[in-house]
Chains A and B, each alone.
Chain A
Amino acid sequence: MSEFINENPDVLDENLLPSRFKDKTDIILDNDLKAENLQRRMQLFSIHQNSDCQVYRSIELVDRLLAQEEVLSKNDAPELTDAETEEDDDESEESEDPIDAQEIYDLIAYISDPEHPLTLGQLAVVNLIDIEVRENPDKTKISEVLVKITPTITHCSLATLIGLGIRVRLERALPARYRITILLKQGSHQSENQVNKQLNDKERIAAACENDQLLGVVSKMLTTCK
């Protein structure tokens, strides 16, 4: 296997994630191994080791979920509370201002990684520079949002799951005029084209969102969103 560009990411402290409220120059994420960065890297390493079993169990679970063909019983299906849905509705109605990359970043950076106890922003799966918004000033016409993600693991199902989480989050939060494209950053995954195709197939996404178990996993990932 070749090298993957985000295989062992520096874990970023939430306070260091790019945010609208700070001077952007404070957020230079250099690659120098400062003591602080080194410490974070070691932290991640220990997380990797300690949670090994958990990680593989998660992967297995996701595999099973994605492969399942049967309509599952709804007994243990976690459903979104009404409060959460309403909140998102309000959000979409109120967003009169044009949406920029930072706003998209804020919506998706706090989604939990399905595999680590960290957010997609902290793991640099989601990066501000990889978000592009093509805003049409005329709100009666469509605008486009492009998000490129850099998975930490080359495993297909997990990349798909992360992409699905991002799409569900954005579709719920953004007004209908936004067309969302989610792609894997070039060179970040062994089956890039397959995953990209799946993440942008409207019908497959719609069907995935009717799979209660899968939606449960996604909802869990979204509970850490701000």
Chain B
Amino acid sequence: MVISLLQSLKLHKDKLWSIDCAKGLAATASSDRKIKLINLRNSDFKELEELDDNTHKKSVRSVCFRPHSSILAAGSFDSTISIWGKEENDDLQGTYQETEPLAIIEGHENEVKSVAWSHSGDFLASCSRDKSVWIWEADEMGEEFECLSVLQEHTQDVKHVVWHPLVNLLASSSYDDTIRLWKEEEDDWECAAVLNGHEGTVWCSDFETSESSLRLVSCSDDSSVRVWKHVEDGEDGEDVWAQESVLPQVHTRAVYCVSWSPDGYIASTGSDGILAVYKENEQGKWEVVAQQTEAHGVFEVNVVKWTKVGGKTLLLSGADDGSVNIWSFSF
């Protein structure tokens, strides 16, 4: 398997923290307070739009597209979440319509670190340095948000939230070194499991896209990447999860991001600037199939994200110098 760099875009003036992809688009979030959209459909990967940069007063830390719509959510260190979309206007059909702010959600006490939409687009989850995870229910327009639950079991900052791609199961990663899984039980959101094992801040996690098994990959300041699996449903809504494997050691410093592709590949990246791709040979046995050192020169890489555009698999990465790299694979 060979990684090759298709395009490198210097998009932002400061750290690029987050990338999300959907429908041939990529959105990026940066410490320069800007959110940008890139077109992935053409091979020149041009910047499409820069969203109104007066919306956030501090770094934009996280972006996430709402499934089945053109709505985007962004979380910022200014403690707010912004919602973006395109207004329906038949007169403007055929021309490119600018993305407009639809709503600002307040509630967190301080820096919002991550936002994530559930697979159906019904729920938005957010997390913050205030140690809480909030679950919001959104209306179809993306203008009204009702807070369904504030989950406060983490004992430290919550760094990242992600939903399962097929079911309503949420994972949150924390500075308290644990991952918590959350599910809905009789109209209330409850902690279904706590995953202990990492020996440092858990920076990010991602679910496998599978109907037959429930698995999660996580990465940490302890420089490891681990896969966890659901073993059985326990009593009282508590599920039994166990660590299935520690992926082959590639990283020498904190691992900031992992992404599990729908094809089953895992990618990881972090402070050492290495981009690694792992493949599972048999259940629980992983090997490194591709490795790119200095993926963004000497800069720390904060985010990696798989996407599929026109049947082609792409990997996007973003770094401290504000650049996005778009990689392709030959399997």
CB within 8 Å of B: which residues of A?
Answer: 69, 71, 139-142, 175-177, 179, 197, 201-204, 206-207, 210
Smallest CB separation, B295 vs chain A (Å)? 12
Chain A residues with Cβ below 8 Å from B31 are 206, 210
Cβ contacts under 8 Å, A139 to chain B: 298
> Contacts A176-B320, A201-B201: A69 and B110 contacting too (C-beta < 8 A)?
yes
Determine if B111 and A176 form an interchain contact, defined as CB atoms under 8 angstroms apart: no
Q: Are A179 and B271 in contact (CB under 8 A)?
A: yes
Q: Judging by beta carbons under 8 Å apart, are A207 and B201 in contact?
A: no
Instruction: Flag if B79 contacts A71 (CB, 8 Å).
Output: yes
Residue B272 is within 8 A (CB to CB) of chain A in the complex? yes
Q: Mark B248-290, 1 if CB is under 8 A from A, else 0.
A: 0000011010000000000000011100000000000000000
A142 and B272 form a contact (CB under 8 A): yes
Chain B residues with Cβ below 8 Å from A202 are: 254, 256, 271, 300
Query: Which 8 A-B pairs have CB atoms at the shortest separation, nearest pair first?
Result: A177-B298, A210-B58, A69-B109, A69-B110, A207-B111, A207-B77, A176-B298, A142-B298
Cβ A210 vs Cβ B77 within 8 A:
yes
Contact with A along B111-139 (1 / 0, CB 8 A): 10100000000000000011000000000
B113 touches A141 (CB 8 A): no
Residues of B within 8 A of A197 (CB): 175, 200-201
Partner of A204, one of B157, B256, B293: B157
- Is B198 on the interface with A (CB-CB < 8 A)? no
Residue pair A176, B299 in contact (C-beta under 8 Å): yes
Pair B59/A206 contact, Cβ less than 8 Å: yes
Q: Is B305's CB within 8 Å of the partner chain A?
A: no
> Known contacts being A206-B59, A210-B77, is A179 close to B253, with CB within 8 Å?
yes
Inter-subunit contact A203/B113 (CB<8 Å)? yes
Proximity bits, B82-113, A CB within 8 Å = 1, else 0 = 00000000000000000000000000011101
B15 within 8 A of A: yes
Which residues in chain B, 291-331, are within 8 Å of chain A measured between CB atoms?
293-294, 297-300, 320-321
Interface of B is mostly: loop
Report the separation of the CA atoms of residues A210 and B111 in the bound assembly, to the nearest whole angstrom: 11
Residues in chain B near residue A179, CB distance under 8 A: 253, 271, 300
Q: Chain B 215-227, CB within 8 Å of chain A: the 1/0 string?
A: 0000001000000
Query: Which B residues are within 8 Å of any A CB, using their own CB?
Result: 15, 31, 57-59, 61, 77-79, 109-111, 113, 129-130, 157, 159, 175, 200-201, 221, 253-254, 256, 271-273, 293-294, 297-300, 320-321
- Residues from chain A with Cβ under 8 Å of B200 in the complex: 197
Alpha-carbon distance A177/B256, docked complex (angstroms): 17
Which of the listed residues B57, B298, B300 has the most CB atoms from chain A within 10 Å of its own CB? B298
Tell whether, in the assembled complex, residue A210 and residue B254 are in contact, meaning their CB atoms are under 8 Å apart.
Answer: no
Residues of A within 8 A of B157 (CB): 203-204
Tell me the bound Cα distance from A175 to B298 in angstroms.
9
Q: What's the least CB distance linking B111 to chain A, in Å?
A: 5
Which residues of chain B have C-beta atoms less than 8 A from A141's C-beta?
A: 293-294, 298
A188 to chain B, nearest CB (A): 21
* A–B complex contacts, Cβ < 8 Å, 8 sampled: A69-B79, A175-B298, A197-B175, A197-B200, A201-B175, A202-B300, A206-B15, A207-B129
Quick check: B298 and A210 within 8 Å, CB to CB?
Answer: no
Residues of A contacting B299 with CB < 8 Å? 176
Given the known inter-chain contacts A69-B109, A69-B110, A142-B273, please indicate yes or no for A207 contacting B59, CB distance below 8 A.
yes
Instruction: List chain B residues, Cβ under 8 A from A177.
Output: 298
Q: How far is the CA of A168 from the CA of B273 in the complex (A)?
A: 21
B33 nearest CB neighbor, chain A only? A210
Q: Which residues of B contact A175 (CB under 8 A)?
A: 298
